[in-house]
Chains A and B, each alone.
Chain A
Amino acid sequence: MEPSKQIPKLAHKFFKWYCRGDRYEELHGDIEEFFYDRIEEKGLRKAQWLYLMDVLRGCQSYAWKNNNGQFHSKFNHLIMLKNYFKTSLRSMMRNPLSSFINIFGLSMSIGICLVVYAFMDYQYSIDQHHEHKNEVYLVTFYVDKEGETLQYGKSPVMLAETLKLDYPQISKTSRVEDRNVVVKYKNKVFHEEVRYVDPEFLEMFTFPLKWGEPSSLQGLNNIIISAEMSEKYFADVNPIGYDLMLKFGDDIKKTFTITGVAEPFPDAHQISFDFLINFSNFGYTHPEIDFKDWYKLVDATFVQIENPTDVALIHAGMDKYRDLVNSTNNDWEMLSFQFEQLATLFDRSQYISESITYNYDEAGRITLPILGLFMLVLGCFNYINIAIVSASKRLKEIGVRKSIGASKMATVIQFLSENILVTSFALLVGIFLAVSLFLPWFIGISQMRLSLNFGDENLWLFVIALTLITGVISGLYPAFYISKFQTVHIFKGVVKFGQKNLLTKVFLCVQLMLASILIISAVTFTQNTDFQTTRDWGYDQHNVLYLKLPDVSAFPEFKDLLAQNPNILSLAGSAHHLGHQVDYDIIQTPERRYEVRLMSVEPEYFETMKLRLLEGTTFNAHYESDKRMVLVNESFINNLNITDAVGHTFKVDSIKYEITGVIQDFHIYSFYDKIRPTYFTLADTDKLSYISMRVKPGSSYDTYNALREEWATFFPETPFLGGHQADVWGADYYEMEANQGDFVRAVALIAVLLATMGFYGLVTLNVSGRVREFSIRKVLGAGLKNIAGIITKQYLALLMVAILIGIPTGFFLVESLLNLLYEYPMPMNHSIWLLSVVILVSILFLVVLTQVKKLAKSNPVEGLKVE
């Protein structure tokens, strides 16, 4: 009798499919009985549902077709896979060394690829969380600077409002300006950066607020703060309604009420803020700025254009504003405006000077994917090589399989599935390595908040693609290679391969090449760290302290106070300071204009900082006559093609200056910054805000503490602003340099490890395959030297080729990388490649040596017994 129509058909079919025929009647009878019972008790729907559950639960071995029934034919492939799996495991267990090399090598590569993925994912998601990222544009402009076209991220302060009036297509605009302020809440006083924006800023950018209203930014006395700042000033308390006092300058203060606290920003962001206030405050806090001046720039102007086709239209009309800018300024000529979409702004920001976003990691974005690829290639090649060579040990298995009817395809499938097994295993280890070892380490040295989010489907796609590609690429060749042997030849013993395989040699050669490239990088970056750390700044930055006064009128009194400190050997005031602040000026010569840097200092500044005078004299003590005298650096005379520098004159804004001395070139900012033509003038006494002090060697920490105390009594309202001159490039500047070296060394170490393991595996397999030959040689009286020679000879040509190609390539690549990274790269020298060759050759020699030693200890009789 057919089952009732109420029984779910699909479930019943499934049951019939898996259930063995002789038990169908009794088993289904039982389920049916329950089903009818349940219809009465719980209703049809529930009963059908429970029937389905019963069918699914009943899908167990007792109900399945038995082994001598139809089960076999249906599940043939599955059973064969089970068999492949078993043989794979067995062969892996039999050669623990090769399996270890395979799995370890692949998992290292996969682990590194995952870190690279995390890095790239982070890079490409920077500032991508903004809802309107495709409609918001940064206004930039092109300028012709000394024949070079440069793009700048700033824009005229007038632009935003004018644009909005002229073009209704622009729905929102926001100007952005950053300024340093002192923020005070009760006894918490810190130096901070405040961001002036138009109220529409929070509508254009997606910064959700944890507390408060975004629209409150319209109020002139309101302030919106970041989650980080909320934590810093108020811990866990909701600070809405609290008052913050902001001190903008010498005597401009204003109290703001907190009306919003942002949610923590996403990890991958560049545009953010600490404190947001209405842009209209800018006029109040900086009354000296003329907001009707087209020449006056703000840090950024963003516009939101809803319809993408309007962008070209507006862009075409921008020339009238350009002409307005050019008519009010003579210093530089604006060529054109350019809109940069927010979605691509971060990617483009390396080409935009003074942009609101800055891309620090361009080199990383180029080199890390290459490194990942290198590692993957190393891992895969290891696998392929070892698979080919070790297949010689499994020839009989293949022969037997083929003779009892395995097709060529079946053999291919066998080896591919074996490979997927190895790769999946490696993947697990790789994920573990990435999460527990590589990623934390990389975060530690890069200070980037990278993460592997395993809820992200892209990551899984990447992981699956990685496994399949690695598995198939590394398995395909060995699989086809092995499967094509004729069964008869295998049993006859005609097939001999492994040692003479051309591809194996090519792969090994490529591996050694990659290894030598990475060894070169490691050696270079090790030397480079040393080079950059000990490189001369052009002045003596040690034993110098500096501070920046909040109020220039306090300068004379504070200076007198410091002069009494016996530890201070000399001190000087200045309006600008090395590593902190310089000014820019345009010098007009009959031929062309030059942009130069300007520093106004007291005469003692040169002595205090130990800037080196090459010729001429420094300033005399504050003589009025020295007002027209300047000192210049070497780049200044070189760039302006000045001969007989001392006594030479030039004009700035129609004021004539005379060069009285030449200073040796010095680095104002870090070594990443190019040395520009710079000149020193005597500072006006009412502009001196910096004080630099040379202290007795060894006393800088004591003096620093003494300075802080003096400061606290003198300026109780303002936190201390000053420090050690050696730290002006950032306290972690040298640490970052060292980290870079660490990173390259670690990567090189892994690469060399992978290549060495591959080489070791190959040599081991090779030697064990020729153990009879070597035993016979030994019996006939061959010495160790002889045998070592035979093994080495086989790889010598290979090594030579690898070194001849790899070393120059590496040398060239690393040099380009250094040039890309540094404005003043370390000059490459011969010791780099010599050292690299020595390292590579000695590692390989050690590998051969271990094998030779093993042969030396073994009894040749045992070797001859080997079947």
Chain B
Amino acid sequence: MERLHLGEFEELVLLTVGVLYEDAYAVAITKEISHQSKRSVNVSAVHKSLYRLEEKGMLKSHLGEAEAKRGGKRKRLFSITPVGKKALDDSMELRTKLRNQIPDMAFNWKIS
């Protein structure tokens, strides 16, 4: 099978869905990412990634309860699938593998 590809932002979203566990819906994810990464994130970008990740099978979702603070609308709650976990692990593993291959010399800066 082709390696599952994850974009940088997609990976962030996927991780955050895991972090938030039971309360992973777009608004919370947006806030969490901008809080943790200190960068401004727009909800539309999160939406886009969420639906793509669901298409790729890395996330599954169901509709939650209606809430007054959202104008009486239900929210879509996301959770990670095994495929999502595998993609995360693969990505992590690749990074660690590559990181470990960097020789110490590469970080041995000298003022020349």
Contact = CB atoms under 8 A, between A and B. Distances in A.
B48 A30 contact: no
Given A54-B42, A57-B42, A62-B52, A30 B71 contact: no
A351 interface: no
A33 B69 contact: yes
Nearest to B76: A26
A29 B48 contact: no
Contacts of B21: none
A63 interface: yes
Interface in A755-802: none
Nearest to A59: B44
A30 B27 contact: yes
Pick from B25, B67, B73 the residue with the most CB of A within 10 Å: B73
Contact of B44 (A1, A29, A32, A58): A58
Contact of A60 (B30, B48, B70, B71): B48
Which range holds the interface residue count of chain A? 20 to 34
Contact of B27 (A25, A34, A62): A34
A54 B71 CA distance: 16
B27 A58 contact: no
A62 B26 contact: no
A30 B52 contact: no
A54 B43 contact: yes
A36 B47 CA distance: 19
Nearest to A30: B26
Nearest to A62: B51
Interface in A518-554: none
Interface of A is mostly: helix
A26 B44 contact: no
A54 B44 contact: yes
A31 interface: yes
A60 B48 CA distance: 8
Contact of A28 (B48, B51, B69, B73): B73
A487 B25 CA distance: 56
A31 B75 contact: no
A317 interface: no
Contacts, number: 62
A62 B47 contact: yes
Interface in B36-69: 42-45, 47-48, 51-52, 63, 67, 69
A3 B72 CA distance: 9
Interface in A53-70: 54, 57-58, 60, 62-63
B74 interface: yes
Interface in A31-63: 31-34, 36, 54, 57-58, 60, 62-63
Interface string A260-292: 000000000000000000000000000000000
B53 to A, nearest CB: 11
A26 B43 contact: no
Contacts of B71: 1, 3-4, 28-29, 32, 36
A22 to B, nearest CB: 11
A83 B26 CA distance: 36
A32 B42 contact: no
A63 B69 contact: no
Contacts of A32: 70-71, 73
Contacts of A34: 27, 30, 43
Contacts of A62: 47-48, 51-52
Interface of B: 25-27, 30, 42-45, 47-48, 51-52, 63, 67, 69-76
5 contacts: A1-B73, A29-B67, A57-B42, A58-B43, A58-B47
| Closest 8 A/B residue pairs (Cβ) | A29-B73, A1-B72, A29-B70, A57-B44, A26-B76, A58-B44, A30-B26, A62-B51
